[in-house]
Structure 1
Amino acid sequence: MSTGHGHLDASNKRIALLIAVLALFLALSETLGKNAQTGALSHNVDASNLWAFFQAKSIRQTVVRTAAEGMEVGRTSASPETAATIAATLERWNKNVGRWESEPETQEGRKEIALRAKAAETARDLSLARYHHYELASAAIQIAIVLASAAVVTGIAALIWFTGALGCIGLLFTALGLWAPHSLHLL
């Protein structure tokens, strides 16, 4: 409601302030949501790359083991000098296969790569859970802003109560996204 002089009355000033505060919270939830979305994508790419590296190591191990088995068969009929060369090659290949399985110092053995990929998947899932909370928060706050705007136009006080409730729900989802992103998934 406005007076004849173009000034807002006190209730409309409060609603305008409420809209400004809601817009601030909307900007916060949107920023957090975009950050969580970007994090989820980044962690998903990391996990995919690590699983591809894991598969490459597995293929490499299989090829070398298969070649070693073929060489082992030929070693029994080989001359002593050739058998010694084959044995040295087999020993070197077996060391490589063992190193490809676990290499704690470089974190590039299959076991370490699998752990890193699972950690990236966990980080991705956390980012996605946060993102979903922030999206719900943004939706609630956007609706609250629309209701507050409608309250200015219509003068219906009940809309302000709905605005406050939705604003609180939006803040709750923002807080859950920050501090307890998996809480609603447990219900």
Structure 2
Amino acid sequence: MSGHGFHVHGPHDHELEHATQHAASHGEAGGGMINQIAMFTAVIATIGAIFAYMGGATQANAGLYKNNAAIKKTEASNQWNYFQAKSTKQSLAEVSRDLAPNAADKEKYQAKIDRYEKEKKEIQANAEKIEADAKDWDKQSDAQMHLHHRWAQATTALQVAIALAAIALLTKKKWLEWGMFGMGAIGVAIGALAVFHV
């Protein structure tokens, strides 16, 4: 804090001054490396935060879609139970028709049988449509989980790149700086795969 010529240095201020003086005394190369790594780390951390958000969003979508599939499967099961109930009623009507003593009763039961057969076809078509919807929700959930894994892989690669940047900064090893750039590129490439749903 500065006021009326009095200035208190914090530990961070001291380290920045030391790094700046050290870079200046070793020429442009040392300072260039520090600045390059600092800029790289800031950019990669920002991209990594976006990738982490997308990973969380796709995971949430996958759960939501899987839940929708479960609801549709329950609806389809209810329709098939309804279909079975109509089949049972139809079977009872057939037995009653066969045991009926006169033609009028046989005709009455036959009308019920025909009605149950028609209703069963409608119920079956509805149940099959709901089952198809459930399969579609399952596929969408699987696709979102695949994207989630891509985003997670990309985020992990970027985190490794940031760790390599820190080690490169501490050790001043050029090969670690190249490793940092390589892992950053891999992370961004995997993120691009997620963007294009690959």
TM-score, normalised on structure 1? 0.84
Counterpart for residue 88 of structure 1: 111
Deviation, structure 1 residue 127? 0.6
Cα–Cα, structure 1 residues 40 and 55, in superposed 2: closer, same or farther, change >3 Å?
Answer: same
Match of 2:41 in 1: 19
Distance, in Å, in 2 between the alignment partners of 1:168 and 1:6 is 27
State yes or no: 1:125 paired with 2:134. Answer: no
Q: Could you tell me which amino acid in structure 2 is paired with residue 166 of structure 1?
A: M
Q: Match of 2:93?
A: 71
Is structure 2 residue 166 aligned with structure 1 residue 166? no
Question: 1:51 & 1:69 partners in 2: Cα distance?
Answer: 27
Tell me, in whole angstroms, the C-alpha distance in 1 between the residues paired with 2:98 and 2:22: 107
Instruction: Tell me the CA shift for residue 118 of structure 1.
Output: 1.5
RMSD in angstroms over aligned alpha carbons? 2.2
Report what 1:101 is aligned to.
Answer: 124
Q: How many angstroms apart in 1 are the aligned matches of 2:62 and 2:54? A: 12
**Cα displacement (A) at 1:101:** 1.4
Unaligned runs of 5+ in 1: 103-108, 182-187
Instruction: Quote the offset at 1:59 in angstroms.
Output: 1.6
Amino acid corresponding to residue 154 of structure 1 in structure 2: T
For 1:176, the equivalent position in structure 2 comes to 193
Tell me which protein shows more helix as a share of its residues: 2
Residue identity opposite 1:97 in structure 2: K
Gaps of 5+ in 2: 1-17, 25-29
* Greater radius of gyration (CA): 2
Q: Which structure is higher in RCO with an 8 Å CA cutoff and minimum separation 6?
A: 1
Q: Give the distance between the partners of 1:91 and 1:154, measured in 2 at CA.
A: 86
Per-residue deviation at 1:158? 1.4
1:55-92: per-residue Cα shift (whole Å, max 9, x none)?
A: 11112111210221122111122244543443333233
Structure 2 length as normaliser, TM-score? 0.80
Contact 2:93 2:112 in 1 (8 A): no
